């Protein structure tokens, strides 16, 4: 009995990939959402409405993407 | 009749273990949210408790692994499961009294493996399951959480580093309410299932369920309720260690460590790996701290935690084996488990009384 036969390599690899993609993916989109909110506040104060609207749009989309990833993650991870 | 009495004791002991698991692991779920000020302690704990309850109903992959893939169900008796649970509870209480966030999951598996070896020799253990589904994931999980949290916090600082700190901190505090909730849900899916697995194993050993059967609904519901109640009771000593003594965290670090932890636990639950949530979240916290500044992590505290991790499997196994030996002194009937249960309860009461006498905190309300 070797270590290679004991380890469930494929499932472990999928766990590593899924964890990395989900963990970093959520962080990325949520950080973009916060960046968008912060930029929106700055640009609004500086009276640049178009740029502020673009930042708000980016924030909204990123927030939606965050929610989508979290919901999708829960559904996929628990659907076995 | 005697075997039914033992079964009732085993189920009661398993639910008591589940309670201590929730009590012990509350820190993993809520400590970062509390220490960064993202949520008030009682709110964070109540939310974690509810989500732990909900999470327990989501999946049964881990329960199946514990019931069928770690020890050989053909040689397991309810008394072996009972002794394993005593080993796990004893180790949980020992590490709790020192404020160390060790793994309840590995304590449980170690306890059952130890008592099974004491009863039936090494043939009682399924090496493939123990190594492939418990030991290897145990090594990989904290390293993975460490790496994901480290990469995440690096990414966060690159994206929002030049923005106003007030807005960024507020944003990540809101984010932590979601990431903390997700972590609580993940904790419920993985940890409550270990108790379900052990009760299922005892039911199979008693002949009440067929080998390979899934946990019945009453097992799922009672395990969910026990872990939720334990979580609500809270383990303030460990919250302090996890939340403030490893690193001094900001909200972004709390978010990245909770996000990394949730991702690792949910992915592992999907594949039925009975993971230690303690290892994962502490790995994530260390990763988030080390990525910002390597010296930000109090490596001495981290070293103590790693030491407790390494000791957990063998120590719980040794106590499980000892508990089995003590139980068998009184024969194969119900007397052994009854005597050991009473002796354990007396010991626990004595320890708590001594602690209270010294004025040390013993409950959530005193933290």
On the question of pLDDT at A3 being above 60, the answer is: no
Average pLDDT, integer, range B136-165:
90
What's residue A2's pLDDT? 58
B:292-351 residues touching chain A, CB 8 A cutoff = none
Rounded to whole angstroms, the Cα distance separating B112 from B116 reads 6
Q: Evaluate if residue B243 carries a pLDDT over 90.
A: no
Q: Give me the residue from A7, A23, A31 closest to B132, CB to CB.
A: A7
Q: For testing the chain A interface, which of B51, B129, B163 should be mutated: the one with the most A CBs within 10 Å? A: B163
Could you report the per-residue pLDDT of B67-79, keeping only the tens digit for each? 788 888 888 888 9
Considering chain B, what percentage of its residues have pLDDT values greater than 70? 92
E-only strand ranges, B26-141: none
| Average of per-residue pLDDT across A15-33 | 93
**Record: contact B260-A30, CB cut-off 8 A:** no
How far apart are alpha carbons B106 and B138 in whole angstroms?
9
pLDDT greater at residue B98 or residue B80: B80
Per-residue pLDDT, B255: 92
Query: In the predicted model, is pLDDT for residue A32 greater than 80?
Result: yes
pLDDT at B34: 81
pLDDT value at B367 more than 60: no
Decide if A26 and B140 are in contact by the 8 Å CB cutoff.
no
Q: Residue A56 and residue A45: Cα distance in Å, rounded?
A: 13
Q: What is the pLDDT of residue B5?
A: 86
**Contact status, residue B53 vs residue B227, Cβ threshold 8 Å:** yes
Q: Does the structure show a pLDDT above 90 at B114? A: yes
**Residues of chain A contacting residue B164, judged by C-beta atoms under 8 Å apart:** 38, 41-42
pLDDT of res. B244: 60
What's the pLDDT score for residue B246? 58
Residues of A in contact with B152 (CB under 8 A): 23-24, 27
Q: What is the pLDDT of residue B57?
A: 86
Q: What is the mean pLDDT of chain B?
A: 84
**What is the model's pLDDT at position B225?**
93
Q: How confident is the model at residue B247 (pLDDT cuts 50, 70, 90)?
A: low
β-partners of residue B125 are B71
Res. B26: pLDDT tops 80: no
Residue B39: its pLDDT value, please? 81
What would the pLDDT profile of B172-194 be if each residue is shown by its tens digit?
A: 999 999 898 988 888 888 888 88
DSSP output for B118-140:
HHH-GGGB-HHHIIIIIIHHHHH
Please give the average per-residue pLDDT across A16-39, as a whole number: 93
Q: What is the pLDDT of residues B27-74, one digit of tens each?
A: 777 888 888 888 887 788 888 889 888 888 887 778 878 878 888 888
Is B134 part of the contact surface with chain A (CB cutoff 8 Å)? no
Highest mean pLDDT: which range of A55-59, B15-19, B128-132, B267-271: A55-59
The answer to whether the CB of B223 falls within 8 A of the CB of B190 is no
Q: How much of chain B, in percent, has pLDDT values that exceed 90?
A: 25
Q: Could you tell me which residues come within 8 angstroms of residue B52 by beta carbon, excluding any fewer than 6 positions away?
A: B22, B29, B184, B185, B187, B188, B191, B192, B224, B227, B228, B231
| pLDDT over 80 at B245, yes or no | no
Query: Does pLDDT of B137 surpass 70?
Result: yes
Residue among A14, A35, A38 whose CB faces B271 most closely: A14
pLDDT at B365: 33
Q: What are phi and psi of B97, to 5 degrees?
A: -65, -25
The answer to whether the beta carbons of residues A31 and B171 sit under 8 Å apart is no
Dist. CA B320–CA B112, nearest whole Å: 7
pLDDT in tens, B257-285: 999 999 999 888 888 888 888 788 888 98
Domain borders along chain A are: 26-80
The confidence score (pLDDT) of residue B240 equals: 64
Mean pLDDT of A18-35: 93
Q: pLDDT tens, B294-351? A: 776 677 777 777 777 788 889 999 999 999 999 999 887 888 888 988 888 888 788 7
Between chains, do B152 and A24 touch, taking CB under 8 Å as contact?
Answer: yes
DSSP for residue A16: H
Identify the closest residue of chain A to B270 by CA–CA distance: A77
Q: Is the dihedral of CA B226, B227, B229, B233 positive or negative?
A: positive
Q: Which helix (H) or strand (E) is B181 found in, with range?
A: helix B165-205
Q: What is the mean pLDDT of residues B150-159?
A: 93
């Amino acid at each position: 009995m070797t270590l290679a036969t004991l380890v469930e390599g494929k499932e472990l690899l999928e766990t590593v990939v899924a964890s990395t993609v989900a963990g970093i993916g959520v962080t990325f989109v949520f950080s973009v959402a916060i960046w968008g909110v912060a930029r929106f506040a700055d640009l609004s104060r500086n009276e640049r409405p178009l740029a502020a609207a673009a930042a708000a749009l980016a924030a909204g989309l990123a927030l939606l993407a965050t929610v989508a990833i979290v919901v999708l993650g829960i559904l996929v991870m628990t659907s076995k | 009749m005697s075997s039914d009495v033992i079964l009732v004791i085993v189920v009661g002991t398993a639910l008591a273990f589940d309670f201590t698991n929730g009590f012990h692991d509350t820190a993993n779920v809520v400590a970062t949210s509390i220490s960064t000020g993202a949520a008030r302690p009682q709110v964070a704990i109540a939310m974690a408790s509810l989500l732990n309850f909900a999470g327990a109903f989501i999946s049964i992959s881990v329960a199946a692994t514990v019931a069928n893939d770690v020890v050989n169900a053909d040689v397991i008796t309810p008394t072996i499961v009972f002794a394993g649970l005593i080993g796990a509870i004893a180790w949980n209480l020992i590490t709790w009294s020192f404020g160390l966030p060790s793994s309840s999951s590995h304590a449980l598996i170690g306890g059952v493996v130890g008592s099974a070896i004491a009863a039936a020799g090494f043939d009682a253990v399924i090496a493939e399951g123990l190594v492939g589904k418990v030991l290897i994931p145990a090594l990989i999980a904290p390293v993975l959480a460490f790496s994901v949290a480290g990469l995440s916090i690096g990414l966060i600082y690159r994206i929002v580093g030049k923005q106003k700190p007030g807005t960024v901190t507020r944003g990540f505090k809101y984010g932590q309410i979601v990431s903390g909730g997700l972590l609580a849900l993940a904790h419920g899916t993985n940890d409550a299932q270990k108790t379900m697995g052990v009760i299922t194993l005892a039911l199979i050993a008693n002949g009440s369920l067929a080998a390979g059967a899934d946990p019945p609904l009453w097992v799922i519901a009672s395990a969910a309720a026990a872990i939720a109640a334990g979580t609500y009771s809270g383990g303030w000593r460990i919250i302090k260690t996890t939340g403030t003594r490893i690193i001094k965290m900001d909200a972004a670090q709390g978010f990245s460590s909770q996000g990394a932890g949730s991702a690792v636990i949910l992915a592992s639950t999907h594949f039925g790996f009975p993971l230690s949530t303690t290892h994962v979240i502490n790995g994530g916290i260390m990763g988030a701290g080390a990525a910002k500044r390597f010296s930000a992590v109090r490596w001495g505290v981290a070293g103590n935690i790693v030491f407790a991790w390494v000791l957990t499997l063998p120590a719980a196994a040794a106590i499980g084996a000892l508990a089995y030996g003590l139980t068998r002194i009184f024969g194969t009937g119900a007397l052994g488990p009854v005597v050991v249960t009473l002796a354990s309860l007396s010991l626990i009461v004595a320890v708590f009384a001594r602690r209270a006498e010294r004025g040390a905190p013993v409950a959530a309300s005193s933290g």
